[in-house]
Amino acid sequence: MGSCLLSVAEQLFKDLQRTYTQTKQIPDDLLIALRFVFGPCALQALDLVEKHSVKCVTSPSGRTVFQVLGGSGRLYTCYSSCHYCPCPAFSFSVLRRTESLMCKHLLAACLSQAMGLCQQEQVSDQQMTHVLSGQTEANT
């Protein structure tokens, strides 16, 4: 997927942020555009957002990660800054086959951030080290 498509995706997130902030709804044309750009994972990602499955975890040192509770109950730590999720779908569809821009977890993180629906959690730098190493959830 080229940088042109990433630019389109970024513009969609900006449009979503502007529209959702004002109306608390996603217009049909924006839903269609999300589905067109992100494929079937767009609706799955919106479902995760609706279920409040996305948490933005930040530390005093400025590190930020997203923790997304997947449909199977597994917690995925996603990195929007470097565009990465440890889930199998990301490895297969995004990295190996390059047929998607992102998996549903990473997309849910981007959407929840744009919509202002992301749960926020502050942790210590030591706790963030544990989160980044995959040892634990942020609040444990």
Looking at the DSSP bridge assignments, the partners of residue 61 are: none
What pLDDT is recorded for position 3? 65
- Look over the chain and give the mean of its residue pLDDT values, rounded to a whole number: 89
Every domain of the chain and the residues it spans = 3-132
Pairing of strands 54-58, 64-69: antiparallel
pLDDT for 51-95, tens place per residue?
999 999 999 999 999 999 998 899 999 987 788 999 998 988 888
Q: What is the pTM of this model?
A: 0.87
Looking at the DSSP bridge assignments, the partners of residue 55 are: 67, 119
pLDDT for 22-45, tens place per residue?
999 999 999 999 999 999 899 999
* Structure-token pair, residue 131: 């989160």
**pLDDT confidence bin for 2, thresholds 50/70/90:** low
**pLDDT confidence bin for 135, thresholds 50/70/90:** low
Residue 126 class from Cβ within 10 Å (0-12 exposed, 13-18 middle, 19+ buried)? exposed
What does the alpha-carbon distance between residue 42 and residue 29 come to, in Å, rounded to a whole number? 14
pLDDT for 86-118, tens place per residue?
999 898 888 887 778 889 999 999 999 999 999
